Amino acid sequence: MRKFKELLKSPHIQIALATGVSIIVMAYFSKRVLPEPIGYLLSAIPPFIAVVFEGVLNKYKDKKISTTWYWVTAIIGSTLIIILLNAV
């Protein structure tokens, strides 16, 4: 259990989990809730944010811009915005 908790502290794991949950939530809403499916381009935005995070993390390792929770919040926020834009 201790190794699992240590694994969850990794920024790469946190971003991957946020991106995975985002994709699953968008797929569910696209299939079951929204009147029309979410387009491919819009559904690629949260994973694109994750890719940008990886680049920023590699370039600015100990800077404030590479704080993981900023990027997780951006992924979750973009997911919500995409769902809300398609609901209208």
80: containing domain: 2-87
Q: What is the model's pLDDT at position 1?
A: 86
Q: What is the pLDDT of residues 3-41, one digit of tens each?
A: 888 889 999 999 999 999 999 999 999 999 999 999 999
Residue 62 backbone phi and psi in degrees, to 5: -110, 25
Give which of 58, 73, 62, 65 is closest to 15, Cα–Cα.
73
| Cα–Cα dist 73/42, whole Å | 17
User: CA-based angle 52:75:88, to the nearest 5?
Assistant: 125
Buried b (16+ CB within 10 A) or exposed e, 37-56: ebeeebbebbbebbeebeeb
Model-level pTM? 0.92
